[in-house]
Amino acid sequence: MQITTWFIAREDEAEAIESIVTTEEHSPEDWTYIEFPLIEMELMALSAALQGKEDITSESTSEDPLIFRDEDGLIIARVKDSFIQALARVTDENVPGLANAWAERMDREHHEPEELREILSGLVTFARDAVARRSSVLSLATF
């Protein structure tokens, strides 16, 4: 299972975040973070659901990688501000409906709607925190 971790962090902290995997010089607890069992395509499905689109492949949720280390199996990229802003605007009342729309755009054998509601609630809270701090979000995906 691929794990993605988002950090409230600046781009110049990408190498320090990389060290979580490569040298263990830093740990995730050095930043505010959230960890979830999703890959980019599943986040793209969420983005499509947020926009009311059916095509989940139209736009990535991350910018070009800041760090790509095939040998260590990691990618660090900035999460697009527009995606974080859209998540931050989701109201608590809209989470169940949005989670259902998200589930319809995904492979259901990997995630049940209830699990997606829990993940979505966490992502919304995290995005609100990032927006309140006026900070970027960096994504660490391991593969």
Mean pLDDT rounded to a whole number for the chain: 94
> For the chain, what are the domain ranges?
4-142
CB distance 47 to 87 below 8 Å: no
User: What pTM, to 2 d.p., does this model score?
Assistant: 0.94
**pLDDT computed for residue 113 by the predictor:** 82
Q: Scanning the structure block, which residue is given the tokens 């280390």?
A: 69
Strand-pairing partners, residue 68, are 75
pLDDT tens for 47-67 read 999 999 999 988 899 999 999
Contacting residues for 30 by C-beta, under 8 A, at least 6 apart: 16
pLDDT tens for 3-59 read 999 999 999 999 999 999 999 999 999 999 999 999 999 999 999 999 999 999 888
**Percent share of the chain, pLDDT over 70:** 97
* Two tokens, residue 98: 């949005």
CATH for 4-142, among 3.40.1000, 3.30.70, 3.30.420, 3.40.1760?
3.40.1760
